[in-house]
Amino acid sequence: MQKQFDAVVIGAGHAGSESALALSRLGLKTLLLTMSLDSIGFLACNPNIGGTSKAQLVREVDALGGEIGITADKALIQMKVLNGAKGAAVRSLRGQVDKGLYHRILKKTLEAQSGLTVMQDEAEELLLDGAGGIKGVKTATGVTYYCAAVILATGVYLDSRVIIGEYSKKSGPSGFFAAEKLSRSLSDSGIEIRRFKTGTPPRIHRRGVDFSKMQIQRGETGICSFSFMNDFYDTPADAQAVCYLTRTTEETRREILKNISRSPMYNGSISGVGPRYCPSIEDKIMCFPEKERHQIFIEPEGTDTDEMYVQGGSSSLPADVQERVIHSVEGLENAEIMRFAYAIEYDCLNPEQLTPALGMKRIRGLFTAGQLNGTSGYEEAAAQGVIAGINAAMYLKGRSPLILKRNEAYIGVLIDDLVTKGTIEPYRMMTSRAEYRLILRQDNADTRLTEKGRDVGLVSDARYEKYLKKQTELKEIYAKIEKVLPPSFLKGVFETKNIPLVPRGYLIRELIKRPDFCFADLSENGEFSCYSRAALSEAEAEIKYGGYIEKQESEIKLFLKADERPIPEGIDYKTLSGLRNEAKLKLDKIKPLSVGQAMRISGVSPADISVLMLNLSKYKE
């Protein structure tokens, strides 16, 4: 059988789903191939979306016209804000979601999408046209799908192996099939493959848990939703699902130390590199011997199941050891393990082979996204997926790609880090990676990115109208804050806050800058009650941190000066005199688009940049 599509997306996780939706919504006839229809949007690890810096990614994907925020809002069973007591730059949403419901909602969205065909089959081989471009995909069932663009979003399925102590098996996550042949096709195409590792904690039955020994972790209400298309999350805290906090004990430490030689991570059974920022319980015990106890969160997997997720308990220890370790934790003395924790090794590629558009440098029409690019996390995958989908569409339409800069989005930081610096371990997004995080807040993602999503054609009319309404509100708010309020108006507010009122007029902007004032205080007096909470939240952050934001904007001007100086395509670094050999090799491998990107390449020194700049001026002449 032979069939024709504009584009084929391989993999239907968080990256592949975003890519396929973006392509089809942009008018391209698209095929989405998945090993199993039951694995679409599957939350193979933790049953939550968001978290520090990850929520910013979700809201950015949403602002561009993506799907993860909308799906998460529909599947929420608990919502809270992390770092709520800290500055706006690091505040992040974190939502517990119903794992089964999330999968069903996303699967239905894909099935209903016009121009998108969803097919259960295994991609085995990439077909090239002999001139350095993609021409199709061949599957295990013998079907050939011809196309001009392919997006690889294979997650952790490539030649994957699950490990539990001495036991190992060729398998994808949660018992799904592994993709065993595509890795060879990628290698035969000249793509550099590497081996990474990740893992997941055990799942336990609710009935064996003694919750009385744990601290209750409730959700919050009156906080923003993941999607800008939805209003604030106002479900009362007592109507939300409950999570619990417990801790390991000295017995936990003894049990792990006694059996550490049986851990595949420590006896050499696992060769893949694991995520540093999501360590296994045995890693925590070995790397932090001075720490007597470690936090363990018990979280529901959904509303229609008794399975509980043991957050913080990732492991690859043998089953018998895992059971003793679980029973050593406070409140889990009688816990029943329903699924053992496991490690999983898989093939991925070196992201330095990619352009900032997530296209493969050596193969035209081939794009990649998600954990295949060396990242970890649903949110990082979705962020890459929407960009890969947009840029595959732009490639097919003959338009310029969408490349987000580091000062424009966390997505820009994520992709620039991958393609410019590479990664030697599963990459996780963190607020500390973003130099301009005070500007890249979760509250203003729509202000930063909706126009860009509209320009490429992915932002719908309904979404754009909502965005324009908020921008109108912001303009009115910024005009109103220059108004002076008399003491008589503020008397009640100051008394409520037990603050002495100086008998003089106050600029609203001056009041909002104070840490003990917010728009809500004035809304109660009717001054700003007509505006949406979303607009007031963004305006409040802009006003309170105005001085710091101005400082970051000055830094951005210097950054852009270097980042906007292009490097001619096809420049031969090997012939540039004065460059060190290491710099020549790194520059030739990465092929930076600008001087700014060249400056961020590991192994390229400031002296090398000076030599490059000198040669660029000659090159131009």
DSSP 8-class letter at 432:
G
At 63, is the pLDDT very low, low, confident or very high (cuts 50, 70, 90)? very high
Alpha-carbon distance of 211 to 195, in angstroms, equals 39
Alpha-carbon distance of 88 to 423, in angstroms, equals 28
**What secondary structure does DSSP assign to 266-277, as a single string?**
HHT---SBPPTT
Residue 586 has pLDDT above 80, yes or no: yes
- The 10s digit of each residue's pLDDT in 520-557 is 888 766 788 899 999 999 999 999 999 999 999 999 99
- The 10s digit of each residue's pLDDT in 448-506 is 999 999 999 999 999 999 999 999 999 999 999 999 988 888 888 888 888 888 888 88
Alpha-carbon distance of 170 to 234, in angstroms, equals 44
Q: Give the three-class secondary structure for 443.
A: coil
What is the CATH architecture of 461-551?
A: Orthogonal Bundle (1.10)
Pairing of the two strands 7-10 and 30-34: parallel
Residue 621 has pLDDT above 70, yes or no: no
Alpha-carbon distance of 388 to 381, in angstroms, equals 10
**What secondary structure does DSSP assign to 247-289, as a single string?**
E--HHHHHHHHHTGGG-HHHHT---SBPPTTS--HHHHHHH-T
Q: Assess contact for 608 and 586: CB atoms under 8 A.
A: no
**Of the given ranges (40-49, 110-119, 267-276), which has the lowest mean pLDDT?**
267-276
Mean pLDDT of 589-598: 92
Indicate the residue type of 22.
A
Phi, psi of 493 (to 5 degrees): -65, -45
DSSP 8-class letter at 533:
H
Q: Assess contact for 256 and 285: CB atoms under 8 A.
A: yes
Q: Which fold has domain 2-197+346-456?
A: FAD/NAD(P)-binding domain (3.50.50)
**Of the given ranges (306-315, 407-416, 599-608), which has the lowest mean pLDDT?**
599-608
Mean pLDDT of 313-336: 97
Indicate the residue type of 124.
E
Residue 38 has pLDDT above 90, yes or no: yes
In Å, how far from its chain's centre is CA 589? Answer: 26
What stretches of 439-523 adopt beta strand conformation (E)?
484-485, 506-507
Confirm whether 2-197+346-456 and 461-551 share one CATH topology: no
Residue 619 has pLDDT above 70, yes or no: no
pTM of the model: 0.94
CATH code of 565-620, in short, is 1.10.150.570
Q: Where are the domains of the chain?
A: 2-197+346-456, 461-551, 565-620
Q: Assess contact for 47 and 298: CB atoms under 8 A.
A: no
Residue 620 has pLDDT above 60, yes or no: no
**Nearest alpha-carbon partner for 110 in 14, 175, 174, 177:** 14
Q: 394 CB contacts (<8 Å, ≥6 apart)?
A: 357, 400, 401, 402, 456
Alpha-carbon distance of 31 to 6, in angstroms, equals 8
- The 10s digit of each residue's pLDDT in 494-516 is 888 888 888 888 899 999 999 88
pLDDT of residue 525: 66
- The 10s digit of each residue's pLDDT in 135-157 is 999 999 999 999 999 999 999 99
Alpha-carbon distance of 264 to 98, in angstroms, equals 31
Residue 274 has pLDDT above 80, yes or no: no
Residue 250 has pLDDT above 80, yes or no: yes
